[in-house]
Structure 1
Amino acid sequence: MKKKALWALVVIWGITCGSRGCWEQERVALLALNATFDLIYRVDTGGSYFNCCSWEGVECNPTTGRVTHLMLFSSRYYLSGFKTWYLNASLLLPFEELKSLDLFNNHLTGWIAPEEPNLLSSRLSKLEELDLNGNSLDNSILSILATIPSLRCLSLRNSNLSGTLHVNGDLSNLKELDISIKNLSHLENLYLDYVHLKHVGTVVQALGALSSLRILSLQHNTIEGTITTQGLCNLVKLEELDLSFNGITGRLPTCWRNMSSIRILNLEDNEFTDSVVSSPLTSLTSLEFLSILGSHFDIPSSLGPLTNHSRLKLTTEFWANVPNLSYLNLSANILEGTIPSELGSVKSLDILDLSSNNFSGGLPIQLLDGKLNVLSVAYNNLQGEIVLSNHTMNPGLSRLRLEHNLFNGSLSFLSSIVNLRELDVSNNIFTGKLPRLIANMSSLVALDLSKNQLDGLIPQELWNFGELEYLDLSNNNLSGSLPLFFISEWVRHIHLSRNKLNGTLVHALSNGLRLVTLDLSENEFSGSIPYWLGSLSQLKILLLKGNSFYGTFPEQLCRLKSLKVEEKFQAPHTVGFTTKGRFDSYKGYTLLKMVGLDFSCNQFSGEIPSEIAISQEMLVLNLSHNKLIGRIPMSLSSLTKIESIDLSYNNLIGSIPEELTQLNSLEVFNVSYNNLSGAIPNKYQFGAFDESSYYGNHLLCGLPLSKKCSTTINDNCSTTKSRLSTKEDGFIDEETFYISFGVSYTMVGLVIPIVLFINPQWRHGWFHYVELVINTCQSLFITCYYFVQDGFRKFVSSYLHN
């Protein structure tokens, strides 16, 4: 009895307290919304079932108890197989005090308005913020939004409004857009990113009616054409404008000089062809951020007209004459001429990026003698030696990128820059030996000296870097053997290809347990593959081609189960594979998908182990130009994604496995110049390979070769193969010689009697000739006989006399 009374008291208390915190009609409406949105779980988060103001995603006015903020999310999109849907807007009518409505990422196509006209807009007359990001809206939405005069912030990012805002010359859409937006006179923030807008004139003209806009973002659309209308010039309150990643051309409108409130302007990756100093940019003195990266602005060496931009602190376009400049990025433009040395005198400048332009001349030493932390002049036409004065020292420079220029001379200037963490001088013409002073850069994490003309030995001091993770010395003239235990345990990527390095790898890399990339190709390394190579559990790229490694094919390589490139692996280097009959380079995202083995041009012997098929993700297998023997392993048929197999120039025997015809992705197959035999498979992909794939295999038959498989050939033909090899080494084939000899003499023996029988005159002449020969030989024989007899008598007489 007491328990029942206690439960009754709890229920009465809950009802009473709940009525104080939440209006009943709104609680009922939220419960009705539960059929559409995931609201029921909100009750179980510690709040009261009756007090909807305590539910997650619901906020109320603490005085009136009316709902003011509502965030709704539905999982029905995922449960229905990713189908879009319409929301019944009548469910929102009770929320007359609603100020913020969040419908983010519900994949709505639109909503069904109440039958009574303007009922929704009258009930939601206090709505100020509406978030419709991540939906798939159609025309039904904007016609309703245009009737809500209180709306201040509307977000339509990733909303796919192609049905309404995709203006492609269809003027009916333009009128609808005009009617939909022109009444939103109080709208302050508008995001239309990734919504596939197209023609700049119609878009700008329509948006010009939003006179209260402070933020307008149109990035990543397909807007093209020239800004010729005055639409944007009506936005006098605009503070942030983002037109980046479009195709807008021409000059900036002159009326932009009146947009004095603009603080952030992003024009990146368009086709503007204006001049910085004569454009409206000179009048935008409130600018704090400006980006014209990737456009075609003309930037002269003198920027005097821009000295009034005192608020510009983070910029990608202004330099020495702009106060408080700390970050300057002029990359990916069409800038020419020499780099102004005045940049080195900007004391506030911390990061300078002039990469990917057409700068020429030398590198001003003032840039290395200042206070820069990051300097990049990569991908230009800079040239000459870099010679620093004795007092030059920049302890703050941590990142220096000089790659892809024409710099020459030695690397001795690096001795003055000791705190670098990243150094890239690749693709230049630097000469001389590696300076031992480079070992003073104890903080180096990445070092790239590739594609220069450096020579000499690799100094032992180079491997004292305790933090080095990336090393690239490839494409130089370095020689000698690798120092013992020459790498630190932290190194992850080593590229030493295309040098003249020699010796063995007995101990040189044995402590590189964290190695991810190891490229030793195109050198003069010799010896067998060391046993410890199979213990590099993190190794994903291994290139050994073009050396003099010998011995049986290293089975320890087959234990490298991680020998693949995963998506999480960041590959800063270009890796070359000989694949599909050509040498291809892989870099970045493409390299992330590249899995291959290239051990070509060595002296490996023995059979190909079946474990060679270590990964079903393998795309390339190249074992050409070795001394491998035995049969082609059946296990290759498990490489379901393989695109290129090259086993040419070896001593393989046996037939081509029929199972390989199941490799549907195979585009290149080369087994030329081996000792293979039997019929060539001609099904599926193999029907597309031409005879060049099989050259030099004299016992192969069938298409695409002209030799038909008329008789059965024994696959186990090692004896025949040896005899064939001997025959091929002679001037003429032995069997062919004997056959030709026999046929020739048989023909002579038959032809002469036939001719003599037919022609009596020839027969008489022939017998006369034979008789003459016999008499001559007889006469000669008798003469020789008596001559020898007489000589012998004289010899005996003389011997007895003595």
Structure 2
Amino acid sequence: MSSCRITLSMVNMAKVMYTGVSQIRAMWESRISKQKVRQQREQERKARSAIERLRAEWHTHVDIAAVKKKVTRDESHVALRVEGEDWRALPQSLQDMVDLNELRVLNSRLHVLPRFVANFQRLQTLDLSKNCLQELPKEIGLLKGLQQLLLSYNQLRRIPEELGDCESLERLDLSSNNSLEELPYQLSSLKKLVLLDLSVNKFSSVPIAVLRMSGLQWLDMSKNRLHELPQDIDRLERVETMLLHHNSIRYLPLALSDMGELRTLVVSADHLVQVPTVLYKLPHLKILDMRENRLQEMRTTKQTSPPPLNKRLQVVDAEQEDMGKEFMTSYFQDLQKRETSPEYTTVVSLSLQLG
């Protein structure tokens, strides 16, 4: 009886040992299988990576080849113009072209201007119009020889203060970015700036930096949110052309009469109700455009007030678009003879071509 029990116990032990070995074997086989799967996936990943590297190298090669085809050389001037590509970012292959004098990448969906733009120390013109740029790298300020920076039709929300270090800048176009509201004061260092275009943005006032740009000759702030001009607008003593149409300006400051170089003033489609009569004294003024305003008839307590000016000027405007300065002079002299010469006159739909 006891021998039967021993035999049965040994059989059970054998079963347990067999079961244990089977489980261990299954566990190891599972681990080995998983390891093989991992190894296979790793090999596939490396293969894909190698293919991607080859593809990237090929694209880089293609980029370099394509870019070099677009480079033009005229004596000592090296220029690259690209338009209508789907770059989104400047290719890395571009950073070695340090001899570029002119770089134009237009309508190419650029979202980022890389920091290596600082490599282009010979750059004089940078035109990135009609892209999707939202900001500029601070390295832009390292381009000491840059003369033209054209960034119209982008999505810029702010301008880095380092741009004020571009001491050679003569033309700056920030038009049609739609969201710009201010310029950093550091841009007042741009003493060589001649042309500034800030049109189609959200400026509610003329930036202080602009009033400090002593070399400025051409200023466009049309289609913004201007309600008034600063009383010290005459700081811009060299400005010849000032475009302020499609804003909400109600009055023009008398300081305009001290802008002796002013030749063209456009304030059409604003909210003007009064205009300084002293504007006619500006020695070089040739074009004064005040069309599409709501200039009120002059209100005065004197009984000798002149007839409604809008009627008089509408007739002239209808019969003769090019009104000479003689008309302006005689018109204001007439007001003075009546002793009703106001500080402001009131004109409706007036466009002057002054001879």
TM over 0.5: yes
Matched to 1:510, the amino acid is S
Bigger RCO (CA 8 Å, 6+ sep): 2
1:450–1:474 contact (8 Å) kept in structure 2 = yes
Show the counterpart of 1:609: 312
Match status 1:400 vs 2:153: no
Distance of 2:177 and 2:296 partners within structure 1: 35
1:340–1:364 contact (8 Å) kept in structure 2 = no
Counterparts in 2 of 1:572-591, with a 5 A limit?
A: none
Q: Which runs of 5+ in 2 are unaligned?
A: 1-60, 300-306, 324-347, 350-355
Counterparts in 2 of 1:189-208, with a 5 A limit?
A: none
Change (3 A) 1:484 1:327: same
2:113–2:137 contact (8 Å) kept in structure 1 = no
Instruction: Give, in angstroms, the shift of residue 384 of structure 1.
Output: 2.1
Instruction: Give, in angstroms, the shift of residue 493 of structure 1.
Output: 0.8
> Larger C-alpha radius of gyration, 1 or 2?
1
Structure 2 counterpart of 1:437, from 175, 186, 200 = 186
Show the counterpart of 1:301: 63
Matched residue of 2:206: which SS? Answer: coil
Structure 2 counterpart of 1:530, from 272, 276, 279 = 276
Change (3 A) 1:447 1:385: same
Instruction: Give, in angstroms, the shift of residue 397 of structure 1.
Output: 0.7
Structure 1 counterpart of 2:98, from 340, 347, 356 = 347
Matched to 2:111, the amino acid is G
Instruction: Give, in angstroms, the shift of residue 540 of structure 1.
Output: 3.6
Change (3 A) 1:368 1:422: farther
Matched residue of 2:116: which SS? Answer: helix
2:242–2:264 contact (8 Å) kept in structure 1 = yes
Matched to 2:70, the amino acid is E
Show the counterpart of 1:465: 213
Instruction: Give, in angstroms, the shift of residue 542 of structure 1.
Output: 2.3
Show the counterpart of 2:177: 428
Distance of 2:67 and 2:185 partners within structure 1: 48
Change (3 A) 1:411 1:428: farther
Change (3 A) 1:386 1:460: closer
Instruction: Give, in angstroms, the shift of residue 478 of structure 1.
Output: 3.6
Match status 1:334 vs 2:84: yes
Match status 1:375 vs 2:120: no
Match status 1:489 vs 2:192: no
Change (3 A) 1:519 1:341: farther
Show the counterpart of 1:385: 135
Show the counterpart of 2:267: 520
Match status 1:475 vs 2:204: no
Instruction: Give, in angstroms, the shift of residue 532 of structure 1.
Output: 1.7
Change (3 A) 1:617 1:522: closer
Show the counterpart of 1:509: 256
2:182–2:207 contact (8 Å) kept in structure 1 = no
Distance of 1:387 and 1:519 partners within structure 2: 34
Show the counterpart of 2:289: 543
1:415–1:438 contact (8 Å) kept in structure 2 = yes
Distance of 2:202 and 2:313 partners within structure 1: 41
Instruction: Give, in angstroms, the shift of residue 440 of structure 1.
Output: 0.9
Show the counterpart of 2:40: none
1:434–1:458 contact (8 Å) kept in structure 2 = no
1:552–1:607 contact (8 Å) kept in structure 2 = no
Change (3 A) 1:525 1:359: same
Instruction: Give, in angstroms, the shift of residue 426 of structure 1.
Output: 0.7
Counterparts in 2 of 1:170-209, with a 5 A limit?
A: none
Structure 2 counterpart of 1:366, from 116, 135, 146 = 116
Q: How many percent identity over aligned positions?
A: 23
Matched residue of 1:499: which SS? Answer: coil
Matched residue of 2:133: which SS? Answer: strand
- C-alpha offsets along residues 449-506 of structure 1, whole Å, 9 cap, x if unaligned? 1112234x3244522333211101122224444223434332111012233445x334
Q: Give the TM-score normalised by the residue count of structure 2.
A: 0.60
Change (3 A) 1:452 1:606: closer
Change (3 A) 1:415 1:305: closer
1:425–1:450 contact (8 Å) kept in structure 2 = yes
Distance of 2:269 and 2:71 partners within structure 1: 46
Distance of 2:228 and 2:314 partners within structure 1: 34
2:141–2:163 contact (8 Å) kept in structure 1 = no
Show the counterpart of 1:417: 166
- C-alpha offsets along residues 140-175 of structure 1, whole Å, 9 cap, x if unaligned? xxxxxxxxxxxxxxxxxxxxxxxxxxxxxxxxxxxx
Distance of 1:460 and 1:334 partners within structure 2: 37
Match status 1:618 vs 2:321: yes
Change (3 A) 1:335 1:513: same
Matched residue of 2:98: which SS? Answer: coil
1:403–1:425 contact (8 Å) kept in structure 2 = yes
Matched residue of 2:164: which SS? Answer: helix
Matched residue of 1:550: which SS? Answer: coil
Instruction: Give, in angstroms, the shift of residue 533 of structure 1.
Output: 1.6
Match status 1:446 vs 2:149: no
Matched residue of 2:191: which SS? Answer: coil
Q: How many residues align?
A: 255
Show the counterpart of 2:71: 318
Instruction: Give, in angstroms, the shift of residue 551 of structure 1.
Output: 3.6
- C-alpha offsets along residues 66-85 of structure 1, whole Å, 9 cap, x if unaligned? xxxxxxxxxxxxxxxxxxxx
Counterparts in 2 of 1:139-158, with a 5 A limit?
A: none
Show the counterpart of 1:676: none
Distance of 1:483 and 1:369 partners within structure 2: 42
Distance of 2:283 and 2:95 partners within structure 1: 47
Instruction: Give, in angstroms, the shift of residue 606 of structure 1.
Output: 4.1
1:485–1:507 contact (8 Å) kept in structure 2 = no
- C-alpha offsets along residues 399-442 of structure 1, whole Å, 9 cap, x if unaligned? 11111223333454523423311000111134332322221111
Matched residue of 2:278: which SS? Answer: helix
1:359–1:382 contact (8 Å) kept in structure 2 = yes
Matched to 1:529, the amino acid is V
- C-alpha offsets along residues 267-288 of structure 1, whole Å, 9 cap, x if unaligned? xxxxxxxxxxxxxxxxxxxxxx
Distance of 1:397 and 1:301 partners within structure 2: 25
Distance of 1:344 and 1:478 partners within structure 2: 41
Matched residue of 1:301: which SS? Answer: helix
Distance of 1:607 and 1:545 partners within structure 2: 11
- C-alpha offsets along residues 198-239 of structure 1, whole Å, 9 cap, x if unaligned? xxxxxxxxxxxxxxxxxxxxxxxxxxxxxxxxxxxxxxxxxx
Matched to 2:257, the amino acid is S
Change (3 A) 1:393 1:479: farther
Change (3 A) 1:440 1:341: farther
Q: Give the TM-score normalised by the residue count of structure 1.
A: 0.28
Matched to 2:311, the amino acid is I
